[in-house]
């Protein structure tokens, strides 16, 4: 696992906690400062910037609205389950599988994008702090 992947896992862990973004960044600053050198931080920042820029508007929309996008897929899952059980239609269980996979994929993609954005904000905050302390 490379350094950027480790950072994303750390950010995903922070996203599970109920706190403000400022508090999450504060916690991540300490962890990143201990695990990565300044050069590795710059490389990770550049890599994350390019990855987030590649996604375009769709990735940004999924990052901000992942739950709203996944909701119709969860509805398809529930409807497939209801039809499959109540009307004894085994083919409806295909909708359960497809809806669950689609919703889960959208949620996971949005969660990962959100973690990348949090790491990027943290790295930028670390860079600002280093430049302010140097001057």
Q: How far apart are CA 100 and CA 29, in angstroms?
A: 35
Question: Tokens 């994303």 map to which residue?
Answer: 8
Q: Is the pLDDT of residue 14 over 80?
A: yes
Q: How far apart are CA 84 and CA 90, in angstroms?
A: 6
Query: Residue 128: what pLDDT?
Result: 86
The 3 state secondary structure assigned to 69-95 is: HHHHHHHHHHHHHHHHHHCCCHHHHHH
Q: Is the pLDDT of residue 133 over 90?
A: no
Q: What is the mean pLDDT of residues 64-77?
A: 96
What single DSSP character describes residue 98?
H
Q: What is the mean pLDDT of residues 113-122?
A: 95
The mean pLDDT value of the chain amounts to 91
Name residues whose C-beta falls within 8 Å of residue 60's C-beta, 6 or more positions apart in sequence.
Answer: 113
Q: Is the pLDDT of residue 135 over 70?
A: no
Q: Please, which pLDDT band fits residue 1 given cuts at 50, 70 and 90? A: low
Q: Is the pLDDT of residue 3 over 70?
A: yes
Residues 33, 35, 38, 42, Cα dihedral to 10°? -100
Query: Residue 131: what pLDDT?
Result: 72
- CA-wise closest residue to 54 among 108, 116, 129: 116
Query: Residue 34: what pLDDT?
Result: 87
Query: Residue 117: what pLDDT?
Result: 95
């Amino acid at each position: 696992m490379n350094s950027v992947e480790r950072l994303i896992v750390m950010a995903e862990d922070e996203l599970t906690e109920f706190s403000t973004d400022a508090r999450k960044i504060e916690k991540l600053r300490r962890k990143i400062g201990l695990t990565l050198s300044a050069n590795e931080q710059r490389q990770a920042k550049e890599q994350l910037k390019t990855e987030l820029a590649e996604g375009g508007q769709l990735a940004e929309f999924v990052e901000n609205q992942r739950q709203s996008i996944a909701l119709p897929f969860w509805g398809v899952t529930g409807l497939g389950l209801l039809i499959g059980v109540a009307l004894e239609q085994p083919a409806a269980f295909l909708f359960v599988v497809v809806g669950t996979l689609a919703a889960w994929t959208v949620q996971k993609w949005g969660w990962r994008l959100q973690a990348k954005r949090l790491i990027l904000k943290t790295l930028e905050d670390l860079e600002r702090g280093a430049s302010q302390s140097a001057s």
